């Protein structure tokens, strides 16, 4: 199934208008918090909460473990607009719908997007519970024709053929590395493979993904990052490795959404929160 939606700037701006009616925050940084990683939004100060179902045109996500609301406020002295829960392709939304929130952020004036996700580890040097700085990605659905920028290009939003040679901002990556070091957080680095989901990978698929050069795999992020780059945002991304994927036997290596959520919440979210706070503090300038 490949579906396309066509949104215009007036669709995005209807959503922006609704947000502006609920918050006076002028966000510099957008935060997308993945499965089990939404707790950081609870510590946003002077917070305004705007449920997605109160935002016109907004796709309505139902995934367990997501609060499905915007949280606008201040974190480490920086104005932020956080998404507690994201829209997933596997819910049946088009890639244009999946990336609708990024356009809303763009029209709200967000300049830096920090994305987080829960991911399966493909690099054998990783372990469940680890964090990975995303230095690059492979947009497999996009390469196969399911790309959020297919369709009419509005030059007011971005250029027809956006450059993706440094999608994950090298300067922000450097800040993340030094923050991790200063806080004693182990931070792996690698390539994130975005797939549609919702099934987890077979052992043969795991082997294939490893050979394609991926270090972690998940069901989100690549569309959002592509649209953010199209819109001129600087991007920083982190994967929380909730489980390791094994290329050989399946025996004893089952993956479940409940395990993904629990690992995200208990082990990864606290380290990720410290890391994101450190990066934000450095953006305060």
Taking CB under 6 A as the criterion, the residue among 11, 130, 169, 201 binding ligand HPA is 201
Smallest gap, in angstroms, from Cβ of residue 242 to ligand HPA? 5
Report the C-alpha gap between 20 and 88 in whole angstroms: 25
Taking CB under 6 A as the criterion, the residue among 30, 59, 65, 218 binding ligand HPA is 218
Q: How far is CA 106 from the centre of its chain?
A: 15
Of 45, 21, 41, 20, the C-alpha closest to 32 is 41
Return the number of the residue (119 or 191) whose C-beta is nearest ligand HPA: 119
Is residue 5 within 8 A of residue 90, CB to CB? The reply is: no
Please tell me whether residue 260 binds ligand HPA under the rule CB under 6 A: yes
Q: Between the CA atoms of 171, 44, 54 and 94, what dihedral angle is there, to the nearest 10 degrees?
A: 30
Q: Rule CB under 6 A: which of 106-135 touch ligand HPA? A: 118-120
Please tell me whether residue 192 binds ligand HPA under the rule CB under 6 A: no
**Residue 118 is a catalytic residue:** yes
What is residue 42's DSSP assignment? Answer: G
Taking CB under 6 A as the criterion, the residue among 150, 164, 255, 274 binding ligand HPA is 255
Smallest gap, in angstroms, from Cβ of residue 260 to ligand HPA? 4
Taking CB under 6 A as the criterion, the residue among 217, 233, 235, 275 binding ligand HPA is 217
Report the C-alpha gap between 136 and 216 in whole angstroms: 11
Smallest gap, in angstroms, from Cβ of residue 71 to ligand HPA? 23
Please tell me whether residue 200 binds ligand HPA under the rule CB under 6 A: yes
Taking CB under 6 A as the criterion, the residue among 132, 187, 242, 267 binding ligand HPA is 242
Smallest gap, in angstroms, from Cβ of residue 253 to ligand HPA? 10
- DSSP 3-state of 256: coil
- DSSP 3-state of 27: coil
Please tell me whether residue 101 binds ligand HPA under the rule CB under 6 A: no
Where do runs of H (alpha helix) occur along the chain?
9-22, 95-98, 100-108, 140-143, 170-183, 203-211, 222-230, 257-263, 269-283
Tell me how far CA of residue 142 lies from CA of 84, 125, 172, 203, 227, in angstroms: 25, 28, 25, 23, 12
- Report the residue closest to ligand HPA, judged by CB: 120
**Residue 76 is a catalytic residue:** no
**Residue 94 is a catalytic residue:** no
Residues at the site binding ligand HPA, with contacts judged by CB under 6 A: 118-120, 200-201, 217-219, 242-243, 245, 255, 260
Catalytic amino acids?
35, 66, 88, 90-91, 118, 219-220, 243, 257
């Amino acid at each position: 199934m490949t579906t396309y939606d066509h949104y215009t700037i007036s669709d995005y701006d209807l959503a922006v208008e609704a947000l502006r009616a609920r918050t006076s925050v002028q966000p510099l940084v957008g935060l997308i918090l993945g499965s089990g990683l939404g707790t950081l939004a609870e510590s946003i100060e002077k917070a305004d909460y705007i449920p997605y179902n109160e935002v016109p045109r907004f796709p309505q996500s139902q995934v367990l473990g997501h609060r499905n609301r915007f949280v606008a406020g201040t974190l480490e002295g920086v104005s932020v607009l956080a998404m507690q829960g994201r829209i997933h392709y596997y819910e049946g939304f088009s890639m244009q719908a999946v990336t609708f929130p990024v356009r809303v952020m763009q029209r709200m004036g967000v300049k830096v997007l920090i994305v987080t996700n829960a991911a399966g580890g493909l690099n054998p040097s990783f372990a469940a519970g680890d964090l990975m700085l995303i230095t690059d990605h492979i947009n497999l659905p996009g390469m196969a024709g399911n790309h959020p920028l297919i369709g009419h290009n509005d030059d007011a939003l971005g250029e027809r053929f956006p450059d993706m040679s440094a999608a994950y901002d090298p300067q922000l990556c450097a800040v993340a590395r030094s923050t991790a070091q200063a806080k004693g957080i182990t931070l792996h680095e690698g390539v994130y493979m975005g797939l549609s989901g919702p099934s987890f990978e077979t052992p043969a698929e795991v082997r294939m993904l490893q050979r394609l050069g991926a270090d972690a795999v998940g069901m989100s992020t690549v569309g959002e990052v592509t649209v953010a780059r199209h819109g001129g945002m600087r991007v920083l991304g982190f994967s929380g490795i909730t489980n390791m994927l094994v290329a050989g036997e399946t025996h004893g290596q089952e993956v479940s959404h409940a395990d993904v959520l629990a690992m995200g919440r208990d082990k990864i979210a606290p380290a990720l929160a410290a890391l994101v706070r450190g990066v934000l503090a450095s953006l305060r300038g």
